Chains A and B, each alone.
Chain A
Amino acid sequence: MTEAADPVTGEWKRVSGKYVWVQLAGSLVGGVVLAAIAVVAHLVFGAGRWWAFPWIVAVVVIIWLLSTVLTPRRVRSIRYRLREDDLLFRRGIMFRRTVAVPYGRMQLIDINRGPLDRWLGLAELKFVTAAASTGVTIPGLVEADSEALRDELVALAETRRAGL
């Protein structure tokens, strides 16, 4: 393996703080959709026609509010770490998930940028292996970082190539 391809191991890296805005925008859209559903449902079940209706609305609103308030913490929980031979990725506060993927298992890397991402100068990096369930998608990277990370991962995979 070449020296250039050796990663600085041991440090967790976080994604850009600007990604919070992308998540909040998503949350807002979700809220609007939920409100629309609630209005329609009100016309059908509302005005005391079904006792559970206000309770359901209340629960949904509380969950939505909680999830929106927790957005910054959730974004801060997304982190990745380049170890000697594998990529470690972790996310979630309520539902935590940690994945380790050997560099040699990389099949390809995608960089996706939605309209909001583009506006904020962010990008999402997807590390694709032969297994569909691996699901290593690092969102909210600064665009230049995502490209540097992609090149680094490709170089690492090259030196540690394995079959399927």
Chain B
Amino acid sequence: MSEEPRITEARTPEAAHPTGLADGEWHRLHRATPLFRGGIALLAILGVIIANLRERLFEMFFPYVPGAEYEGDPIDFIVGEGLIGWTLLAVAVVIVLIVLGFWLSWRMHSFRVTDEVVEVRSGILFRTHRKARLDRVQGINIMRPLLPRLFGAAKLEVNQAGQDANVQLAYLAGGQADALRREILRLASGAQARSGGAGEVAGVASAEGVPGAGSPAARVGDLVEQRVHEFLAPELDDELATRESIVAMHPGRLLGSIVLSAGMIVLVLLGVGAAVVAILTGSIASMFFLVFPVIGVGTWMVQKFLRSLRYTIAGTPNGIRVGFGLLSTANETLPPGRIHAVHVGQSILWRGPGWFDIKINRAGSSSMKGAGGESNAVILPVGDLDDVLRVLALISPGLDPELLRAGILGTGAADDGFVCSPRRAAWFKLWAWRRNGVAVTDEAILLRRGRLYRELVIGMPARAQGVSMQQGPLLRLFSLADLQLHSVAGPISLQLGALDAIDTEALFERIAADAVAGAVRDRSHRWGAAPQGSGG
């Protein structure tokens, strides 16, 4: 099961390649891959067949069931015509073909990781060959759906910018997936020295050496123990630096954050509405319409709770690592310089307990789903101000915490570092005009907006795709203008409305210059290369 999938057999792992998988040679995936991918469907088909033959099986053990007749039943037909032999042969042939197909697809599916690219070849009749450059990696996911996880397997996904541009290695042995990610990230980082892995080699090698020793019984025991250990191990197991998540997810807070969400409000409103209708009409028929919303919102809530319960986030030398999931787990490493915009949000419902969430814009799209099944943009499902500041420090270490605090909570004090909307902007931003403002530092542009739903949006000039200002006739009347920073597609909009027109022009020029300078200075996409300049 956990045999090393490789085409070139018996290569002793070198110091530079702890798993031996990133050595530029072609390798195969985990042997049980077809089972994880297609096996579930096969089991389902088997289940359907058994369910359909249930009565017949029942009759085998309890011979007399009155009135049981199987008119036109295929089994009666087969027995009646004396075709049992042929049928068994046909079933055997189908099974052999399926197994052969699985084996072939495993055999034809191989990958290699060289210093510059990761390549995957797959397909039996229609061959696919995908090659992705390592310096364009936007993130690496390791996903463990429940069934493969039980068998100690994991799916590794290299995220690239672009639609459906990810490279998947499904499935690898669990420990190997973690080590391979580390190697790919090291190669992607442009690090010259390859000695960094020497320390881990011993650990990985000895862990893999254990199941091979001793009698078969002991071997099975060890294997089971290893599986259990892997299953229970925290998502942040053997990364080099920080082992601890910097944010602890309290179940109570998570539950509270889910209860105080928009979905719950809608549900409550629907409930009140239905109750009113029920009272007016004197019949409870209207209550039945609540069943579907309750099921829908309930499922969403349970999913979100289960996924976020073991949420972790930590800094590693190769970027930020975010983990989700209780039964099926997923965790992703975002290398430095891959985050294009950050959004800290707080709805009015979360004001009391002082909670916030954090979303990001990024170029790659990961197939790992976010907490509620939404796209994977949430990197902090819920946290207090300290959690938020810790996560922001991880994403953009150079930002002044006082400025961030003003951006998150501030209501437009005179000298908090933000250029705010003038009083006449109240015509457009009735509640928020005091708070509505921009702060520009060398490495970030902070947009502060919203009063009922407080938002702080942080854009990185080094990754800005452009900046624009707009002015319609109404805004011109009040000499106001809108400012927008352009970022890659994502859930975050970087627009700020109704600023003073003259301020906007100055900010526009400043940000346009910063965007150029930032892009020149930024070296974070090769974060491991010899340090130069102040980038990263």
Q: Which residues of A contact B (CB under 8 A)?
A: 85-86, 94-102, 104-105, 129-134, 136, 160, 162-164
CA distance A98 to B363 in the complex (A): 25
Residues of A within 8 A of B487 (CB): 131
Give the residue name and chain of the B residue nearest to A83 (CB).
Answer: B512
Residues of A within 8 A of B525 (CB): 163
How many residue pairs between the two chains, A and B, have CB atoms under 8 Å in the bound complex? Answer: 86
B519 touches A131 (CB 8 A): no
Give the residue name and chain of the A residue nearest to B470 (CB).
Answer: A97
- Among candidates B463, B466, B516, residue contacting A164 with C-beta atoms closer than 8 Å: B463
Q: A100-B468, A101-B465 known; A130 and B488 CB under 8 Å? A: yes
Q: Which residues of B contact A (CB under 8 A)?
A: 136, 138, 161, 337, 340, 363, 463-473, 476, 484, 486-489, 508, 512, 515-516, 519-520, 522, 525
A-B contacts, 9 listed (Cβ < 8 Å): A86-B515, A95-B470, A95-B473, A98-B508, A101-B466, A104-B516, A162-B522, A163-B136, A163-B522
A102 touches B516 (CB 8 A): yes
B466 touches A131 (CB 8 A): yes
- Among candidates B337, B486, B508, B516, residue contacting A129 with C-beta atoms closer than 8 Å: B486
Dominant SS among interface residues on chain A = loop
Residues of B within 8 A of A160 (CB): 516, 519-520
A100 touches B488 (CB 8 A): no
CA distance A85 to B466 in the complex (A): 12
B466 touches A132 (CB 8 A): no
Give the residue name and chain of the B residue nearest to A100 (CB).
Answer: B512
B466 touches A99 (CB 8 A): yes
A96 touches B515 (CB 8 A): no
B465 touches A105 (CB 8 A): yes
A132 touches B489 (CB 8 A): yes
B471 touches A95 (CB 8 A): yes
CA distance A148 to B226 in the complex (A): 65
Q: A100-B512, A162-B519 known; A94 and B473 CB under 8 Å? A: yes
Closest 3 CB pairs of A and B: A131-B465, A101-B466, A100-B512
CA distance A95 to B464 in the complex (A): 24
Residues of A within 8 A of B520 (CB): 104, 160, 162
Residues of A within 8 A of B488 (CB): 130-131, 164
CA distance A85 to B363 in the complex (A): 23
Give the residue name and chain of the A residue nearest to B509 (CB).
Answer: A100
Residues of B within 8 A of A131 (CB): 465-466, 486-489
